[in-house]
Amino acid sequence: MGTTGTVLAQEANFYRVRLDDGLGMVLCTRRARLKKTGQSVLVGDRVEVAEIDSASGRGVIAATCARRSVLSKPPIANCTGVLVVFALSEPTYDPALLSRFLVHIEAEKLGTIVCLNKIDEVPSEAVDGAAAAVGGWGYAVRPVSARTGAGIEALRAELAGMYVLAGPSGAGKSSLLNHLHPGLALRVGDISARLGRGRHTTRHVELFALNAEALVADAPGFNQLELTLAPERLAGYFPEFRPYLGRCQFRNCLHRDEPGCAVREAHLERYGIYREFLAEVLVSAQKQRRTAEPEEAIRLRGGLRRGKAVAVPRLEEQLRETSRRTARQQLGRFDETAADEAD
């Protein structure tokens, strides 16, 4: 058996692996057998390293260990939790966008710490209000300032395990990591005046060691996350909804306009956000069904009697034109109604 280690970064076909027991860092490729058998290597993976050349600092990843968890965006294995960074100013704080991140994290079944950044740029009442709201949703909240360093030491002491930084561009993720790990000097972007949001500065996934027990991953940022979740599961991804689930009149309640809905009657703060997300996932589920059942997404046009019909895509209902047969029927009913009124 070779030496074990943790993949800290990947660029192209090379992996930077920190070996266990303080044996240092090596730059590795992976054996062709792993690629041929479809075994991917992700940042955060525990791996077995062979053929180590201490002089050149090179090695080969021979095998990967079982993963405890896998994130798809960004692609990271074995996460302990997610550190969600949101700014209270520039870009403007958006509870709906924060909720979008939180729903995705809940679906991954990972722990969450919400880090409210730029507290030095807004009144203390705004900081307290945002922190109280997020805390009421069921999340740990840590107000910080990556510019002044306020709250950074307390946050560093709390982190243990492997965390991923998440949040919209411009929220200050790279600035925060520069404070958590002095000496990194990660590039920090400014805020686009035209778009009102940050510019991407992180180009690849990389883990940084804060201490012997804590790793934090900086990853390429993203502003929007498409919701492709099962509609019946969505409510369970809102922690404050969970005490009311199972108390509705109908077992298959989607918590919209159904009578006897305990969630709707609870008047929860994020209920409106839930309704917006539900509409989105219902549309996504409909598209997935059409993709899984192609016959519903096409229709036959022309040449039916001669067996020369052509399959064409079926348009969405709101985009379809009224057929000539339907138009004649509607016109006939109109004529009949007009005749009755004349009598």
Binding site members for Zn(2+): 248, 253, 255, 261
Q: Is 95 exposed, middle or buried (0-12, 13-18, 19+ CB in 10 A)?
A: middle
By DSSP bridging, strand 25-30 and strand 14-19 are antiparallel
In the numeric block, the tokens 């079982």 are attached to 66
Would you list which residues are annotated within the binding site for GTP?
Answer: 117-120, 167-175
| Per-residue burial over 149-185, b = 16 or more CB atoms within 10 Å of its CB, e = otherwise | eebbeebeeebeebbbbbbbbbbbbbbbbbbbbeeee
Would you list which residues are annotated within the binding site?
Answer: 117-120, 167-175, 248, 253, 255, 261
308 DSSP 8-state letter:
-
- Distance (Å, rounded) from C-alpha 193 to C-alpha 293? 45
**Beta strand extents in 56-157 (DSSP E only):** 58-64, 70-71, 76-77, 81-87, 111-117, 140-143
**β-sheet bridge partners, residue 63:** 48
With beta carbons less than 8 A apart as the criterion, state whether 47 and 65 touch: yes
- How many other C-beta atoms lie within 10 A of the C-beta of residue 49? 23
With beta carbons less than 8 A apart as the criterion, state whether 87 and 169 touch: no
- Distance (Å, rounded) from C-alpha 172 to C-alpha 190? 10
Instruction: Let me know the angle formed at the C-alpha of 71 by 65 and 76, rounded to the nearest 5 degrees.
Output: 55
